[in-house]
Chain A
Amino acid sequence: DIQMTQSPSSLSASVGDRVTITCRASQDIRNYLVWFQQKPGKAPKSLIYAASTLQSGIPSKFSGSRSGTDFTLTINSLQPEDFATYYCQQYRDYPLTFGGGTKVEIK
């Protein structure tokens, strides 16, 4: 199985900050990666697919990038509604696998 290692597991940030979350794949997954946002008690919401393509309706403050097997989600100008848990998921091969999640909390 492809392992997805996400870091950090949590971070504290202030409104207006820029935050970066990293996901590392245990093998080459090309750009077959999705980023999700999940708020407490809610279903996940797809933000980015193909490592860097914004899902329809997602603001451009969210961006994704890839360097080899390392993937990054960047959130610019953090707003109160952005405080949530973020997950990566690879879809290069079955079984599909998620990272462990990064909880973004208010400092």
Chain B
Amino acid sequence: EVQLVESGGGLVQPGGSLRLSCAASGFTFSDHYMDWVRQAPGKGLEWVGRSRNKANSYTTEYAVSVKGRFTVSRDDSEDSLYLQMNSLKTEDTAVYFCARATYSGGHWALDHWGQGALVAVSS
């Protein structure tokens, strides 16, 4: 069974840093692209960033709103995905989900998601 479990959320002051982790199991983590998606309280979904797999040199993509402040990384030996968040702003307050991206026939789908980790940025 595919499982994704986020951890590391919490309360942080504006300007601070936080690192989220996503532990994966039940599939070959190293084969997959992995995404972070967030959802502010009572709001819609916002894509945050992506880590490609080793075959694609672990390259990354980011939303404009987090580029230069957030870094997506992974450790395939630990089956783990990370989101390093620096220079946090109040508008970064959200539940952060990690999601597995699966490629099939030229198309992508985020087919498995974690339960989410709450990040609250407040003084």
Q: Which A residues have a C-beta under 8 Å from some C-beta of B?
A: 1, 31-32, 34, 36, 38, 43-46, 49-50, 53, 55, 87, 89, 91, 94-101
Alpha-carbon distance between A43 and B111 when the two chains are bound, in angstroms: 11
- 0/1 interface trace, chain B 104-123, chain A, CB 8 Å (1 if under): 11111111011110000000
Q: Check if B45 sits within 8 Å of A101, measured CB to CB.
A: yes
Least Cβ–Cβ distance between B83 and chain A, in angstroms: 15
Tell me, yes or no, whether B70 is within 8 Å of chain A by CB: no
B110 and A34 contacting across the interface, CB-CB below 8 Å: yes
Closest CB pairs A-B (n = 7): A43-B113, A49-B109, A96-B47, A50-B107, A101-B44, A98-B45, A94-B61
| Chain B, interface SS category | strand
Chain B residues whose CB sits within 8 angstroms of the CB of A89 once the complex forms: 45, 47, 110
Counted as pairs of residues, one from A and one from B, with CB atoms less than 8 Å apart, the total is 62
- Bound-state CA distance A43–B37 (Å) is 10
Which residue of A has the minimal Cβ distance to B35? Answer: A96
Q: A43-B115, A55-B111, A95-B61 are in contact. Are A50 and B105 (CB under 8 A)?
A: yes
Instruction: Verify A46–B44 contact, CB threshold 8 A.
Output: no
Instruction: Beyond the given A44-B45, A89-B45, please list 6 additional residue pairs across the A-B interface where CB-CB is below 8 A.
Output: A36-B110, A46-B109, A50-B105, A53-B107, A91-B107, A99-B44
The residue that B64 contacts in the complex, of A1, A53, A101, with Cβ under 8 A, is A1
In chain B, residues 60-97, which have Cβ atoms closer than 8 Å to a Cβ of chain A? Answer: 61-64, 97
Is the CB–CB distance between B110 and A98 below 8 Å? no
Shortest CB distance A6–B (Å)? 9
Contact with A43, one of B62, B97, B106 (Cβ below 8 angstroms): B97
Distance, CA A18 to CA B47, complexed state (A): 29
